[in-house]
A and B are shown apart, each in its own frame.
Chain A
């Protein structure tokens, strides 16, 4: 029995490699500024008004960016970091309102408004149309598709004759 006991750690290593490594291996790669900014760009400073975290010059924001670096080094994902910031400072740190509750109104109202606009324009056009045969459009002489140019051509000819 004892002879194969040494295989147990090896088996554990095969079955749960990440758990074993997480305890034994220290993170050695420090996330770069660009990796930090890629996340900070989509977060807003909790203190300054409407300032993205990646460009905010305050000391507080510099510390929050370092916090993102720390979390990235610990293996957190972008979503986890965002959730952490929302839990700490509220929805205002997100670049857009989260898609939940009243915020659905935010996302739905503009398309609805635009559709209503299309319907109104459609109705206006329909109510204002009349058969094309009666159309009082500007007369376009043969050979010139633009009525303005046709008119200009006509005026120039007249002037030259005078």
Chain B
């Protein structure tokens, strides 16, 4: 096993050197206009991926083989853990997740080198190549610097006369120290949601490096037209898809594992992950304005720079320990390095932007505040408003601690109050923007497309009033959701109707083909519909959640809304994988009618000495009943405390996610019946 550790360690360092060489060769090649050097840099960039694959493979073998002399293996695995968790322990701790980040990044930037650089636009795209390599490899080199010198996953335990220590190489007079078993991964991470959430989130993070690299390359080379946007449009969509899925999966994991009764707690780590999504979404909309109307070129550079910086900031906030205390930041070496990297990259990006400021003048005008581009601008303003709320909410506790010594908490009430109206505004804009035209729109044109969906949305209002919803904010939220849903649906159906009428196609054929004609547009519509569905889930849980808690003896019950939950029994047992499980059996009734048996449980992990609460959830399209075993008496097992949440509509959040994925696939597929764009994008 020692050989594996040494191989991994050596290759990690070699990859770092290769990336440094690639940066040098690319800059030299670009400055001297030497194609050979640029090609050499390209090969270096390509080489980082197989090299890091071998590093990752070495670490995975160490993790699965249980080499506990390696400190990282000891900290995240134990003998009792199943094989799949030992593999996913690769991203279960700090050193491993930084390496994993680098590996994914190398995969992306290596893939960029494989695009046909000279096949279109008279090979002019090759101008971008050296600078794309420089930006990609600088980012990679920074993370490899951390992995090599600060958080090396191959550090080992040694026994010296002075005591235990960790070091990469055997200190003089030290003997290898091999613990009998590992500490094991944090039990909260031993869940399918957490197996998939980090890779998706990281994929989203690293994929945004690609459009940023092209943006910087455009500024450096002076190619300030929209070519860099067209090349990276698919990369951006891809990044946004994975970032979105990462967020949803993280929420699903929180809902299934944390036992808080909800999916989102405005925790700083969650909020940090949301921030690049906000700027990325704003960018996705804003880039269309540049493509269609030649406007907001500077703003697009700012947005992609912000997204890149927030990706790094999110990693910094979660990895430096700064969130627990500003003093932890000062004590760790990783924090100041991250801070320096973010600051330098941000300042350099802005300097390049200022340098090209005059070249990035708008080519067109905004002629009407109801035009599509103006509405997209308002959409961007709202996204930036939510970003300001999040950024300020995450950083203010640090500022307060730094300036006054007093630590404060910024919890859900602030975020919900400050960002709620902005989300509502976005929902409204999402509804009406597809009705407006590029260039010029009037109230009359908007009204013509709007009156039918508006009438349909009023039916929704009547329906929710009949269902005795009296909260004005809830009624407003349902109305906005209904309006957006019907406008989007009507827009799609109008396209189908036109196609069916003119081409004489059956409706179903037209339904399929109309999407193929403009996948970006109709993929976007599907995504908007998905967002409305997800919004329904959020409205349900945020505005209508109810809860109760109580200690029950056997056969006693708790009532919540229309549900009765009866405690039948409690069983405590050990499992083969090192858990002590306390599992209650509950009978659930609705309006007096027996529904089913549910088994909430608490698990105690012997290796990590940590307890996890696993709720039992009855999930339907109408609502979720979320039962938690909050506490129990170890001696008797006849009395236990249960907490029950009633979460209306929350399932629509997850259903919307499936539709969202479908919409993204539609948007990402090449346009039907044309090869025109092949080689033109990505």
Contacts and interface: CB of A to CB of B under 8 A. Distances in A.
Q: Are both chains from one complex?
A: yes
Interface of A: 32-34, 37, 42, 44, 49-50, 52, 55, 57, 62, 90-98, 101-103, 106, 109-110, 113-114, 117-118, 121, 124-125, 128-130, 132, 134-138, 140, 144-149, 152-153, 156-157, 159-160
Contacts of B611: 57
Given A110-B392, A128-B366, A152-B498, A90 B439 contact: no
B381 A121 contact: yes
Contacts, number: 166
A135 B440 contact: yes
Contacts of B388: 110, 113-114, 117
B418 A153 contact: no
25 contacts: A33-B548, A37-B547, A37-B549, A52-B265, A52-B411, A55-B259, A91-B407, A93-B409, A94-B409, A102-B403, A102-B404, A106-B410, A113-B385, A117-B385, A132-B440, A138-B437, A146-B435, A146-B494, A148-B521, A149-B494, A149-B495, A149-B498, A152-B495, A152-B517, A156-B499
A113 to B, nearest CB: 5
A121 B503 CA distance: 43
Contacts of B100: none
Contacts of A109: 392
Interface stretch (B77-85, B235-243, B368-376, B658-666): B368-376
B319 to A, nearest CB: 15
10 closest pairs, A vs B, by CB?
A: A137-B439, A137-B440, A95-B411, A33-B549, A135-B367, A97-B408, A156-B502, A128-B366, A135-B440, A92-B407
B365 interface: yes
A157 to B, nearest CB: 6
Contacts of B261: 55
B414 interface: yes
Interface of B: 258-261, 265, 267-268, 295, 323-324, 362, 364-369, 371, 374, 377-378, 381, 384-385, 388-389, 392, 396-397, 400, 403-404, 406-414, 418, 435, 437-441, 445, 448-449, 491, 494-495, 498-499, 502-503, 514, 517-518, 521, 547-551, 611, 613, 631, 641, 643
A62 B550 CA distance: 14
A4 B503 CA distance: 105
Residue among B258, B411, B547 with the most chain A CB within 10 A?
Answer: B411
A92 B410 CA distance: 9
Contacts of A49: 323-324
B438 A137 contact: yes
A62 B631 CA distance: 9
Given A50-B409, A137-B438, A144-B498, 5 more contacts: A33-B548, A94-B408, A117-B384, A125-B377, A149-B498
A128 B368 CA distance: 10
B389 A110 contact: yes
Contacts of A50: 265, 267-268, 409, 411
Nearest to B390: A110
A34 B644 CA distance: 11
Contacts of B409: 44, 50, 91-97
B503 A156 contact: yes
Contact of A129 (B366, B397, B435): B366
A159 B308 CA distance: 44
Choose among A109, A113, A128, A147 the residue with the greatest number of B CB atoms under 10 Å from its CB: A128
A153 to B, nearest CB: 5
A106 to B, nearest CB: 5
A34 B514 CA distance: 54
B406 A132 contact: no
A58 to B, nearest CB: 9
Nearest to B502: A156
Nearest to A122: B369
A90 B407 CA distance: 8
Given A145-B449, A146-B449, A137 B385 contact: no
Nearest to A109: B392
Contact of B437 (A92, A96, A140, A160): A140
A157 B414 contact: no
A117 B387 CA distance: 12
B396 to A, nearest CB: 5
Contact of B448 (A103, A113, A124, A145): A145
A91 B389 contact: no
Contacts of B403: 102
Contacts of A95: 409, 411-414
B392 A106 contact: yes
Contacts of B406: 90-92
A72 to B, nearest CB: 14
Contacts of A94: 408-409
B449 A132 contact: no
A92 B418 CA distance: 20
A135 B439 contact: yes
A160 B502 contact: yes
Given A90-B407, A103-B408, A152-B517, A145 B438 contact: no
B364 A136 contact: yes
B408 A160 contact: no
A96 B410 CA distance: 5
Contacts of A34: 547-550
A94 B369 CA distance: 42
Contacts of A137: 367-368, 371, 437-441
B295 A128 contact: yes
In this complex, which of A94, A145, A157 has the most chain B Cβ atoms within 10 angstroms of its Cβ?
A: A145
B324 A44 contact: no
A121 B631 contact: no
A159 B673 CA distance: 13
A93 B392 CA distance: 19
Nearest to A140: B437
Contacts of B396: 97, 106
Q: Which residue, of B259, B371, B388, B448, has the highest number of chain A Cβ atoms within 10 A?
A: B388
A44 B498 CA distance: 57
B413 A103 contact: no
Nearest to B631: A62
Nearest to A121: B381
B632 to A, nearest CB: 12
Contacts of B547: 34, 37
Contacts of A55: 258-261
A55 B615 CA distance: 13
A145 B494 CA distance: 11
A160 B504 CA distance: 10
A27 B477 CA distance: 44
Contacts of A145: 445, 448-449
Contacts of A153: 498, 502
A33 B406 CA distance: 31
Nearest to A98: B408
Nearest to B362: A128
Contacts of A149: 494-495, 498
Contacts of A92: 397, 406-409
Nearest to B268: A50
- Which of A34, A134, A146, A147 has the largest number of chain B CB atoms within 10 A? A146
